[in-house]
Amino acid sequence: MKLNILKNICLGGLILLSATSCEDFLTEKPEGTMNAQSYFRTKDGYEYLVKAGYEPVRYVTRRSVTYTLGTDIYTSPGRGLDYGNVKDKVEYSKTYLRGMNEYYKTSIDARNGDFLWMFIDGYNLIQRANTIISYGQQADISEELREQRAGEAKFLRALAYYYLTEQFGDIPLLIEEVTEPHFTAERTPEKDIYAFLIQDLEGCYSKVASKNDQAEFGRVTRGAIKTLLSKIYLTRSYKSYAESNDAKRAYELAEDVIKNEGYSLLTNFEDIFREDNEKNDEIIFSVQYSTNLQTNWSGNTDYSTYQPFIYAIPGMGAKLEYMERYTGTVAPTRAAYQLFDRSWDTRFDKTFQREYFANEAKPFSAGAFGEIMVGQKMIHCVFPDEHQMTREEKDLLPYFVVNFDEYADQPLVGGLKDDDGDYRVNGFAQDENGNDKKARYYVYPGIKKFKDSKALYSDGGENGTRDHFEFRLGEVYLIAAEASLKAGLGDGAGYLQKLRNRAALTGTAPALELTIDNILDERARELMGEERRFLDLKRTGKLRERVFTKKMNERAARALEVFGPEQAFKDEYLTRPIPYDWAQTLRNIIAQNPGYDY
């Protein structure tokens, strides 16, 4: 029987950044007093240490805005394009298009908190992995187990380094446990980090258990290491320091995972994300969460991140269904919805949530449409290929209707009319001084794949309990397709077609030419809400073209128009700034990345 390695273990405080800080972790054992260092050298203690090393993966994988906003398929919902009766549209846009999504200069500078925490979380995981490797060399365990656990730790370390390097470029390469504070640091060239990661992973994947041999679900498997290694090779194949066989090796590894590691595509795309089906044959590596508040920390935020901010609408209270803290963070762009052809592709309806319902009753005087009953439809989103309703048609319905051209950047207007003749909900309503009279709600079809009926409602309800899927087989098919195209060999088109056929109503999808843009489009359709899109666009060199030239992210494109490259996007922003709060603690000076200041 497989066991979830993190579901029933309290990880808080088990490993801190130095081994000497763990003195009080275990003060009494049946066989006598034992300090943490001694305990971690025992078999039981070492296994506990290894399990604890998985906990910071939650933070490394959940900081979504740094990987999604400002891309072709994800944007920030809200003001900036909802002009209404605004006379000076340029100044209006300048007032509100100032976020990370728009690459506004002061929102993505060295003091940005999201970049800082991404940096901290990444190095926390690296330290934990190094600690596991260090103690493994001393622990009273078999050589086979020592190599297996070291392989798991090397995967975790490589995952953190891959994400950090792709975001920040040259960063310190730490491959040993830190046992005392360091007040100086040196940035290791990105080229050298990639070489280390590849050598490290090539040397360890054969020592780690396969999917079918891994006794505890949630641990790193041989297939997971091969998947990450394939992605690292593929990414390096685009770099100036690429080696000639990088794309070929990426393809070989991806194909190996597809054919030999025991994974398989599920027949029904929707079944991948069914709540009772987290341990399915398509999942290669998932980050574990729990229904226990003590072990779940702040939980998985996949569902709430991609849902609209609607909890304050009367009848749609801040309960489980409409989580408060993270809602309205990331919305699909209109271009993202248009990538789907609903005439054959079932993934659209299985990915997006078009209707929202009341979860609390309201009297006639308080409800937007009069009396509200629990379960009553409150919002209906019109899909791009459907009839777009006029204001008159909307007014005939007892719920809000959101047309495609209103997604994410036009506020809700509707409901009964009060004595002043205005709708009860009207985001455009202003007084004589131009101040908003009513709340603004920006609605769009949220991503429903991560629906969590067991979410723990606390501090806004963001404590999701479902596992986060970091790698699954569907993405490996896409890696194989892209590596095949880049290397000029293999059956990339065949792998792409198999994935599309799985999504097709009839089981056979229209053929698709193997081009990088088609692969990026297919990644969006298959992995909406899952992929780290910023890294895909950076890797392929397509961010400027798709976001700004094609204007697939309307808010980001508009910001560049009104601000220009001095205050909005420039190519240097493909690499993030070194965080100020880290650099200022050092006794030596660390050079900042081009395009930024400290």
Last residue of a domain, one of 437, 458, 479: 458
pLDDT value at residue 303: 86
Q: Verify that 44 and 189 share a domain, yes or no.
A: yes
Measured on CA atoms in the order 232, 234, 237, 239, is the torsion positive or negative? negative
Distance, C-alpha 76 to centroid of its chain: 14
Instruction: Classify residue 142: in a domain, yes or no.
Output: yes
Q: How far apart are CA 85 and CA 87, in angstroms?
A: 6
Three-state SS letters, 215-263: CCCCCCCHHHHHHHHHHHHHHHCCCCCCCCCHHHHHHHHHHHHHHHCCC
Distance, C-alpha 457 to centroid of its chain: 21
Nearest Cα residue to 162 out of 134, 186, 195:
195
Comparison of pLDDT for 13 and 414, the residue scoring more:
414
pLDDT digits (tens, 9 = 90+) for 530-549: 999 999 999 999 999 999 99
Q: Does the pLDDT of residue 346 top 70, yes or no?
A: yes
pLDDT value at residue 463: 79
Q: Does the pLDDT of residue 29 top 70, yes or no?
A: no
Nearest Cα residue to 19 out of 156, 142, 143, 131:
131
Instruction: Classify residue 181: in a domain, yes or no.
Output: yes
Amino acid in the structure at residue 115:
F
pLDDT value at residue 326: 63
Instruction: Classify residue 389: in a domain, yes or no.
Output: yes
Banded pLDDT at 2 (limits 50, 70, 90)? very low
Instruction: Classify residue 25: in a domain, yes or no.
Output: no
Q: How far apart are CA 101 and CA 98, in angstroms?
A: 8
Q: Does the pLDDT of residue 327 top 90, yes or no?
A: no
Give the CA distances from residue 469 to residues 300, 528, 572, in Å, rounded to whole numbers and listed in that order: 11, 12, 31
pLDDT digits (tens, 9 = 90+) for 249-287: 999 999 999 999 999 999 999 999 999 999 999 999 999
pLDDT value at residue 30: 41
Q: Verify that 240 and 122 share a domain, yes or no.
A: no
Continuous segment of H or E residues that includes residue 592: none
The pair of three-digit structure tokens given for residue 407, joined into one six-digit string = 């997604």
- What's the mean pLDDT when you consider all of the chain? 91
Q: How far apart are CA 71 and CA 544, in angstroms?
A: 9
CB atoms within 10 A of CB 321: 21
Q: How far apart are CA 22 and CA 6, in angstroms?
A: 20
pLDDT value at residue 33: 52
Packed helices 43-52 and 143-168: angle between N→C axes, nearest 10 degrees: 20
What is the mean predicted confidence (pLDDT) over 482-492? 97
Q: Verify that 250 and 373 share a domain, yes or no.
A: no
- For 128-138, b/e burial (b = at least 16 CB within 10 A) is bbbbbbbbbee
Q: Verify that 261 and 389 share a domain, yes or no.
A: no
Q: Does the pLDDT of residue 459 top 70, yes or no?
A: no
pLDDT value at residue 598: 92
Banded pLDDT at 129 (limits 50, 70, 90)? very high
Q: Verify that 590 and 488 share a domain, yes or no.
A: no
Q: Verify that 426 and 323 share a domain, yes or no.
A: yes
Q: How far apart are CA 79 and CA 102, in angstroms?
A: 12
Q: How far apart are CA 333 and CA 384, in angstroms?
A: 12
Q: Verify that 237 and 136 share a domain, yes or no.
A: no
Banded pLDDT at 8 (limits 50, 70, 90)? very low
Amino acid in the structure at residue 487:
A
Instruction: Classify residue 30: in a domain, yes or no.
Output: no
Instruction: Classify residue 21: in a domain, yes or no.
Output: no
Q: How far apart are CA 151 and CA 535, in angstroms?
A: 25
Last residue of a domain, one of 485, 506, 530: 530
Residues spanned by the domain of 449: 296-458
Q: Verify that 43 and 146 share a domain, yes or no.
A: yes
What is the mean predicted confidence (pLDDT) over 591-596? 97
Q: Verify that 199 and 278 share a domain, yes or no.
A: no
Q: Verify that 180 and 314 share a domain, yes or no.
A: no
Nearest Cα residue to 445 out of 563, 580, 310:
310
Instruction: Classify residue 215: in a domain, yes or no.
Output: no
pLDDT value at residue 74: 98
pLDDT value at residue 9: 32
What is the mean predicted confidence (pLDDT) over 12-18? 32
pLDDT digits (tens, 9 = 90+) for 373-387: 999 999 999 999 999
Span of 45-59, 424-438, 481-495 with lowest mean pLDDT? 424-438
Q: Verify that 513 and 498 share a domain, yes or no.
A: yes
Q: Does the pLDDT of residue 23 top 50, yes or no?
A: no
Q: Verify that 400 and 521 share a domain, yes or no.
A: no
CATH number at residue 576: 1.25.40.390
Give the number of domains in the chain: 3
Phi, psi of 43 (to 5 degrees): -65, -50
Q: How far apart are CA 101 and CA 77, in angstroms?
A: 10
Q: Does the pLDDT of residue 135 top 50, yes or no?
A: yes
Comparison of pLDDT for 130 and 3, the residue scoring more:
130
What is the mean predicted confidence (pLDDT) over 330-352? 98
Last residue of a domain, one of 500, 530, 560: 530
